[in-house]
Amino acid sequence: MNEHDSLLVLFLVSGILLAAIFYFLYRSTLNAAADSEGLKAPLKKRFITMLVMAVFFIAALAVTLPKSPYFSYADQAPSKVIHVGARQFFFIMSNKEIDPENPSGETDIEIPKDQVVEFRVTSFDVTHGFGIYNDKAELVTQTQSMPGYVNILRWKFAEPGKYSILCLEYCGSGHQVMQSSFTVK
């Protein structure tokens, strides 16, 4: 089972479980007067329902939180750091730190294959999205590019080729043309 299939199964199982909980709640309110002992039985049912939901959500958080991109390759030193500054409506990328007063970058960024690289992503105006896509237009990884913050995104590119960067946050009239690219070798 690949990653997409397991995610699909996770969503399906969560959906079925949620539907079952709602159905159980719906059924439990139908004949409350006929089979309950006053308030005691409904309260017990509610407690059990809440307990099942709490266990399910804690388990889901425990499985999914460690996979957050914020923890990716946290224990490995990056072999290369790329600085990214977003602006309406383009991305500035550089191998050196970008001066916010006079931002400039390079257009021929190259990234080594199979090595951890670090993107330090910020914005010089409004909030943008920094989404990295492979040559099949599949989203590989992403972070937000926010004014006043530097978001760290670490990734290891296994496939060589040209990668595109698209803005993933609506940022104004030129949002849809905001893009850049780099090469993995």
- Residues near ligand CUA, by CB under 6 A: 86, 128, 167, 169-171, 175, 178
Q: Is the peptide bond before 89 cis (omega within 30 degrees of 0)?
A: yes
Instruction: For ligand CUA, give the closer residue by CB, 132 or 171.
Output: 171
Cβ atoms of 132 and 163 closer than 8 Å = yes
CB of 85 to ligand CUA, least distance (A): 12
Taking the complex as a whole, how short is the minimal distance between the CB of residue 184 and ligand CUA, in angstroms? 23
Report, in Å, the least distance between residue 124 CB and ligand CUA.
11
Least gap, CB of 170 to ligand CUA (angstroms): 6
* 86 versus 146: smaller Cβ distance to ligand CUA: 86
Residue closer to ligand CUA, measured from CB, 100 or 161 = 100
Q: Which is nearer to ligand CUA, 93 or 116 (CB)?
A: 93
